[in-house]
Chain A
């Protein structure tokens, strides 16, 4: 009984290390074969349509609602100190620095990441990837790399749209519904938000999240056991792992970027 549990633990550890090593090699191969993704840019554009354009609705609607809630809750707290005019600063800074990249990343992981894993896992299960190899077409170059670059390009676009939509939502609630002064809403925001410190750092964050999410999604799909159960398990793991990765990376990046300010 005890022996079996120790054996199980050891097996899982070895399995985990094995997977990490394979994932690293997979990431390297993907970068190495990225040439095709740019030479045949049509492939990447096709994937950008599926992971980027089709995620637009959920990103825009969630961004709008998150901004509106920030407007309501922020006003509730700020009016106690008589500084409602700082509402624009609060909404803009929290969206541009944190919520935009992080929430767009989480939505992207569950909307596009899961789809990528399921697609590639099923391609593997139905032996389409092996068939490509038979025809001397490298599946990493033809299938994986375009999806990777599409995700890396789409993610900052989606995060920027999320932030812009959220600020618009905060503006709608703050200025039109509650009646915060429009001039001070925008001018205080402009005074506090810096292009390099805040907006560019948010863009860098979203690029890093894009790399992490698509790599995890592609690897889980590529590594999935070729069964129905295996693909479903891999899809779940993609959403869980990439969400955790986004939150953990966000902490690390924030600690690097914003420690020096104030």
Chain B
């Protein structure tokens, strides 16, 4: 069996395919699923999560530190229990607060973590107790209109 020109072309073809797959993997996509091995999970409870979805980013100071792993409804407290999977490289104090924010006016929703001052760090399966729910635009507009109506009411 001898080498032929054909082999060269097929080799180039396969290399081009692997190259474009690498391009897709590195430049287009990102390995943004935080692996279970090098992360820890904390649960935060919110009264209202708005439009938060699984896989939404968890940011602190604007930097992505983890992802939303799971969202469940707690039928006893009538709250949403959101499981956050945070990268092991980032440790947060026990009294860290979590808030649901929106990037831009109509952008996607994410969870913002604000570090507290506690000396103890959050561990796996811990709970974040200080939470702030999503801002629901309808409620905000409703309050605004209600306030305006109060102002203009005859004394």
Contact = CB atoms under 8 A, between A and B. Distances in A.
Interface of A: 42, 45-46, 48-49, 52-53, 56, 81, 83, 92, 96, 153-154, 156-158, 160-161, 163-165, 167, 186, 189-191, 193-199, 203, 261-262
Contact of B24 (A153, A160, A197, A262): A160
B153 interface: no
A196 B9 contact: no
A194 B148 CA distance: 46
B25 A195 contact: yes
A49 B11 CA distance: 9
Contacts of B106: 81, 83
Contact of B13 (A56, A83, A167): A56
Contacts, number: 86
13 contacts: A45-B7, A52-B13, A53-B12, A53-B13, A56-B16, A157-B13, A164-B23, A189-B28, A193-B28, A196-B33, A197-B33, A198-B29, A199-B25
Size bracket, chain B contacts? 20 to 34
Given A160-B20, A161-B20, A164-B23, A190 B28 contact: yes
A4 to B, nearest CB: 53
A189 B1 CA distance: 46
A61 B27 CA distance: 21
Contacts of B20: 160-161, 163-165
Contacts of A193: 28-30
